[in-house]
Amino acid sequence: DEETLQDWVRVLNAVEGSVLWLIRFGTSKAAETNLQAEAQRLGLLDVDRLVFTNPLPGRLHLHVKALADLFLDTPQYNGHGTATDALWAAVPLLTLPVRKMASRAAASFVHASAGQGRVTLVRDR
């Protein structure tokens, strides 16, 4: 959603060296181009800060996820399996739970992990 992308653009512009690392799941090049254009429209200063990678096989994806500094979750439909993978890789998780059950899954995962080094943010929308 636009509000979430706007939040991510603000983070990218404010944090030097940050990137938004997105996994392709059958996404077309047109979808990537559209997301880049929308991020620029919302003020992204450097479109190369959006990094798209292909999914990795087996447990290799957990080792790669461990390279991230922070997992940003989406409020409308949480990461579910992807969010739990981030927690398994010891990556802090930032989630924005809203009213729908599907948007509160990651907050439940953080709570179940006893919040050890993890982050939850609740914000009214």
In sequence order, the 6+-apart residues with CB closer than 8 A to the CB of 6 are 42, 43
CA-CA distance, 65 to 38, in Å (whole number)?
Answer: 25
pLDDT of residue 22: 87
CA-CA distance, 29 to 102, in Å (whole number)?
Answer: 27
Instruction: Kindly report the pTM of this predicted structure.
Output: 0.77
Of the candidates 52, 46, 63, which has an alpha carbon nearest to the alpha carbon of residue 21? 52
pLDDT of residue 116: 61
User: Which band of pLDDT confidence, cut at 50, 70 and 90, is reported for residue 40?
Assistant: very high
Residue 106 backbone class (left: φ over 0; alpha: ψ -120 to 50; beta: rest): alpha
C-alpha distance from residue 125 to each of 4, 25, 59, 122 (Å): 10, 28, 35, 9
Q: Assess contact for 26 and 57: CB atoms under 8 A.
A: no
- Please check the confidence at residue 124 and state whether its pLDDT lies above 70: no
Token digits for 5? 């992308």
Q: What does the pLDDT look like over 49-59, one tens digit per residue? A: 999 988 888 78
Q: What does the pLDDT look like over 80-114, one tens digit per residue? A: 788 888 888 888 888 777 777 777 777 777 777 76
